[in-house]
């Protein structure tokens, strides 16, 4: 059996390494999270607009996942992606993670207790969001 990494070297059209279409924007007192077409399909969700006052904190450490989570709806491809709504002992969470760095948003007064996203520049985004929420 050929491993994924080896197969991807031989035929890059099957590679899971692609440019993410996930976009973040801070404006008008809100954090806007736009998911690209593939992200929408995997997560079965369009995007978010979160008032900055509802963001408790932003960080780069995602929680460890376990067997007690229920996915509904969403997608989980081990080692590739975890996307969608997850019911966990910590509360209802939205995940869109791949092999990129994680950005975790702790929320209050929102549908989800946490949003965990993979995005380039996750540390910079955590700093920007924490700075914007402290004003």
Q: Of 86, 131, 94, 132, nearest to 114 (Cα)? A: 94
**pLDDT at position 44, please?**
63
**pLDDT at position 66, please?**
64
**pLDDT at position 129, please?**
96
Q: Give CA–CA dist 24/112, Å, rounded.
A: 17
Local mean pLDDT, 10-residue blocks, the chain (135 residues): 37 43 90 80 76 96 67 67 84 85 94 91 95 89
**pLDDT at position 108, please?**
96
């Amino acid at each position: 059996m050929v491993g994924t990494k080896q197969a991807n070297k031989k035929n890059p059209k099957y590679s899971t390494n692609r440019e993410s279409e996930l976009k973040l924007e801070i404006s008008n007192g809100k954090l806007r999270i736009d998911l690209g077409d593939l992200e929408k399909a995997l997560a079965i969700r369009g995007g978010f607009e979160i008032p900055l006052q509802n963001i408790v904190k932003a960080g780069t450490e995602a929680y460890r996942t376990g067997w007690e989570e229920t996915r509904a709806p969403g997608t989980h491809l081990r080692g590739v992606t975890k996307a969608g709504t997850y019911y966990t002992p910590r509360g209802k969470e939205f995940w869109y993670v791949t092999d990129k760095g994680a950005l975790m948003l702790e929320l209050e007064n929102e549908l989800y207790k946490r949003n965990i996203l993979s995005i380039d520049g996750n540390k910079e985004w955590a700093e920007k969001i924490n700075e914007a929420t402290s004003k």
